[in-house]
C-alpha cells in the first residue's frame, strides 16, 4: 500500500532550498518494544535536498501539513 505524501510549501531555514524529502521514523524506546512491535513513537522527518538539514516532528506523516500550517501561523 502506497502512502500518500502531503504537498507543503517549505523553505529551508539554513540554505533557502525549496526541495525536500518527507519520511517517517519509528523510534522504539525499549528492547521489548522492538521485539513486540508495540511501544514505539512515530516522527516525521523533513529533509532539505540541497543541504540535508533535517527537522523532526512528533506527528505522523499524514498530519504533517496540518502541523506545519499551525507552526507558520504562530
What residue numbers bound the domain in which 47 lies? 20-73
Tell whether 8 is covered by a domain.
Answer: no
Tell whether 4 is covered by a domain.
Answer: no
Tell whether 49 is covered by a domain.
Answer: yes
Tell whether 1 is covered by a domain.
Answer: no
pLDDT tens digits, 16-71:
999 999 998 887 666 655 566 566 778 899 999 999 999 998 888 877 777 676 45
Taking a C-beta distance cutoff of 8 angstroms, is the pair 5, 22 a contact?
yes
Residues written for the chain: 74
- In this prediction, residue 13 has a pLDDT band, given cuts at 50, 70 and 90, of very high
Number of domains in the chain: 1
* pLDDT value of residue 64: 79
- Concatenated DSSP letters of 8-70: -----TTT----EEEEEEEEE-SHHHHHHT-SEEEEEEEEETTT--EEEESS-GGGHHHHHHH
Tell whether 15 is covered by a domain.
Answer: no
Amino acid at each position: 500500500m502506497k502512502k500518500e505524501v502531503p504537498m507543503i510549501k517549505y523553505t529551508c531555514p539554513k540554505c533557502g532550498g525549496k526541495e525536500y524529502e518527507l519520511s517517517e521514523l519509528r523510534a522504539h524506546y525499549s528492547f521489548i518494544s522492538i521485539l513486540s512491535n508495540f511501544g514505539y513513537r512515530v516522527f516525521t522527518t523533513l529533509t532539505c535536498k540541497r543541504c540535508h538539514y533535517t527537522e523532526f516532528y512528533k506527528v505522523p506523516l499524514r498530519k504533517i501539513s496540518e502541523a506545519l500550517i499551525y507552526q507558520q501561523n504562530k
